[in-house]
Amino acid sequence: MTPNRLILVTSLALFAMFFGAGNLIIPVMIGVDAGHLSWIAAIGFICSGVLLPAMSMVALASKRKEEKRLADRLGAPIGLVLTTAIFLSCGMIYGIPRVGAVSFEFAVAPLVNDSQWALAIYLFVFFAVAYTLARRPAKMVRHIGMVLTPTLLVLLAALVIASFTVPVINTEASPQFSSSPVAGGFIQGYFTMDALAALVFGGVIVASFAAAGHADRQLQKSTALAGVTAGLLLSVVYLGLIRVGLVGSGSNGAEVISGVAHQIFGRSGQMLFGAIVVLACLTTTLGLIAAFVHYFHELVPNVSAHAWLVICVSVSFALANLGLERILAVVAPLNQLLYPMVICLIVVSLVDLVVPIRLLWSYRAPAWIAGVLAVVEALYTTGISLFMPVREWLNLLPMGQLHMAWVVPALVGLFVGVGMDYANRNGHSNRANPGDKFVTA
């Protein structure tokens, strides 16, 4: 396979890995909830839902050979906790259950009685298939990139284009978007979890390029091109799905898309679209399961990979039975907790690529500050009355009313950290040669 073709196929595969449950339902709900401000909210959503994942891919390619985890740059204990939390969140705690629940909402709920028994039976079959396939994954990247993704893109394009024949019904913006649509869209981008997922899937992409002989700067360039190409596809699809949201109604994105698909294509079109969504969700599930099992088996090798697979599938099945709306409700505090530190890690990793010294406190100062404020924000997001008074304190900080109180203090921490690193530059080891800096296996 030629280098350009490899990059294209890998980009399509990365798009399919990113494009799971949340990527379908969240932009649709922006169209529903933001109304006439949807296109402004889309700016913030694309920044956190597209730009950050693309930046994550570049940052991950900069991981040095001696580093076990990219997040170890924040300090080994914090790096271990943060990375483990990311794999748990993207894996059996939230990411995998959400994918299973969304595939039910798309493919089964519109056709049968939307009961707890129907959900349980469907999820049992879905996760049984996932378990069977995850035991022997083979040529996943190529199959996803060459077959599934193009088919899914064609069907999504058909739905989006057809939505322009339906009049807009959502014009009023809900409170979360009316005061600051860009910030509202940015926060919604958290729920795609793609900036976190990039740190999960990125290893698969980097390894794919490395296996094809890409190394050092070529590896970084190929990874960046794959991230950018996948990001461009995501942006186009997100804008189209926002348009779908403007013409549909429902309490969640799956219900909205199913309704619009049925309105435009009828029952047969809705069934076909639902089947493709199931395949897309299954593929995302397989990628998440494989990454989860690999990480935790390396972390706790005394537990076999098969045992981790059983644990992952069993817990995911149990949580998916809570239903889509409950799953979306309980994850908000987790996203508010993880994203600020991950954003700091990504941004400073990109700065690290261009500055002439080895950074240490430039990573730790902003991430630690963001982490403290993220804990407080996450406690408020739980909705527990005990933590409600912290909102007044958070609102005293710049951007606090936008639920982004961590941003300005983290920026101050970044400047302080850079100053400390420059002051101590003779005490740090010299920067490694470019050829030694990147992981090639």
What's the pLDDT tens digit per position in 125-176?
A: 999 988 988 886 555 555 555 666 677 778 888 889 989 998 999 888 898 8
Q: Give the homologous superfamily in CATH for domain 3-321.
A: Amino acid/polyamine transporter I (1.20.1740.10)
Residue-wise pLDDT for 327-386, tens only, equals 766 667 877 888 899 999 999 998 888 888 889 999 999 999 999 999 999 888 888 888
Give me the pLDDT at residue 282, please.
Answer: 82
Give the C-alpha separation, 97 to 390, whole Å.
31
pTM of the model: 0.77
CB 257 within 8 Å of CB 244: yes
CB 337 within 8 Å of CB 380: no
Could you tell me where in the chain the CATH 1.20.1740.10 domains are found? 3-321
Task: For residue 436, count other CB atoms closer than 10 A to its CB.
Answer: 11
Residue-wise pLDDT for 48-103, tens only, equals 899 888 888 878 777 777 778 888 999 889 999 999 988 888 888 888 988 888 88
Q: Is the pLDDT of residue 311 over 90?
A: yes
